[in-house]
Amino acid sequence: MSASTPATLSPSALQGVRVVEMGQLIAGPFCGKTLAEFGADVVKIEPPGSGDPLRQWRLIKDGTSVWWQVQSRNKRSVALDLRQTEGQQLARDLIAQADVLIENFRPGTLEGWGLSPEALMALNPRLVMVRISGYGQTGPYRDLPGFGAIGEAMGGLRHLTGEPGRVPVRVGVSIGDTLAALHATIGVMMALYHRDQRGGRGQVIDVALHEAVFNVMESLLPEYSAFGAVREAAGSALPGIAPSNAYRCQDGYVLVAGNGDSIFKRLMDVIGRPDLGADPGLAGNTGRVERVAELDAAIEAWTMGRSVQQVLQALGGARVPAGKVYTVADIAADPHFRARDMILQQQTREGYSVEVPGVVPKLSATPGTVRQAAPRLGEDTDAVLQEMGLSAQQIAQLREKGIVA
């Protein structure tokens, strides 16, 4: 199995960090995935029988979603019924030995199982507890159900997607969940650093989906506060920054970012409009924004007479940032992705090989790796419980009661 860097015995950045993942679907498990790729021992607790619903999402091969092969690689699976008192106690015992707990249930769920932050941190004062939810653990909306799509809408992203005056569209992936997961991962790193270098105690990380989206909305709020400006959808353009858009070619579209002052001049030379490049009124972004329609028309008049490859070759030679709109087929065939180990061959537990994304970010001394394939449901139940000190007989008794599987 390939790694994001050539296989070595390099130490992992998070080697020795023990994580219990109690989330499901996307946000919590993506956080766990990221920690696992950099060496954390991530034990994923799943309900017996069904497991994480992601196992059956989207395209299925040999009974399991191929998405699962990415989201749960490097993790260990323990099938544990948290609705039963004994199952809750086993979770409590496992968390007592952990550095990090990840959960993305609706607020109050853990408290109902006797697994509140107060109870868990009394057992394990060093615990870093990550709580990801739609609206956060406080506030008037805390008890409402919230998925990533709702967080994207509330955070302001959906209002800006699509064409002006048309139905708002989604990005195409669950970006709200992933943004929340990345914020959670950042929180884990800061909390572990503080615990180990400053205070010695853990803390609770409260991540709301809509806040994670809102945090990346750039100038949205200050522009409204200062000018009363409500930013609207603008298709492929980048309002307030010009020229930057998607332009039609003979066989597709090319994205061109000619908004730097010197880049703009080089772009105008390439398209045969040095007059615009020399125009004092277009020397800065403010002037270009005022005449963006004129500039877009000039650029597209040039691109429409050429193929995508011809446009990219000409703009690349002039050091103007430009790129084609990639499909996954383009990604899979691109030598740059493969040169940077961003497409890996992964052998699954089901016995087939599948290509999966590599690991980011790239660390020079402690790179992330794919050490093992995504687990079958409950594959590691016995091993984890034995590490906790349970005997084979005790585990068999728990299995007879349906508490573990």
Q: Which residues are catalytic?
A: 177
Taking a C-beta distance cutoff of 8 angstroms, is the pair 119, 147 a contact?
A: no
Phi, psi at 223, each rounded to 5°: -70, -35
CB crowding 111-148: b at 16 or more within 10 Å, else e: eebebebeebbeebebbbbbbbbbbbeeeeebeeebeb
Structure tokens at 68: 């699962």
Largest Cα–Cα distance in the chain?
84
Between CA 350 and CA 319 the distance in angstroms is: 47
Taking a C-beta distance cutoff of 8 angstroms, is the pair 253, 323 a contact?
A: no
Between CA 336 and CA 345 the distance in angstroms is: 16
Residues 6+ positions from 184 with CB-CB distance below 8 Å: 27, 28, 31, 102, 130, 132, 205, 207
CB crowding 33-63: b at 16 or more within 10 Å, else e: bbbbbbbbbbbbbbbbeebbebbeeeeeeee
Kind of pairing, strands 322-324 and 343-347? unpaired
One-letter-per-residue 3-state SS of 198-261: HHCCCCEEEEEHHHHHHCCCCCHHHHHHHHCCCCCCCCCCCCCCCCEEEEEECCEEEEEECCCH
Q: What is the DSSP letter of 327?
A: -
Between CA 171 and CA 49 the distance in angstroms is: 33
Gyration radius (Cα) of the chain, Å: 25
- Token pair 């959670």 is found at 184
Between CA 12 and CA 17 the distance in angstroms is: 10
Taking a C-beta distance cutoff of 8 angstroms, is the pair 359, 369 a contact?
A: yes
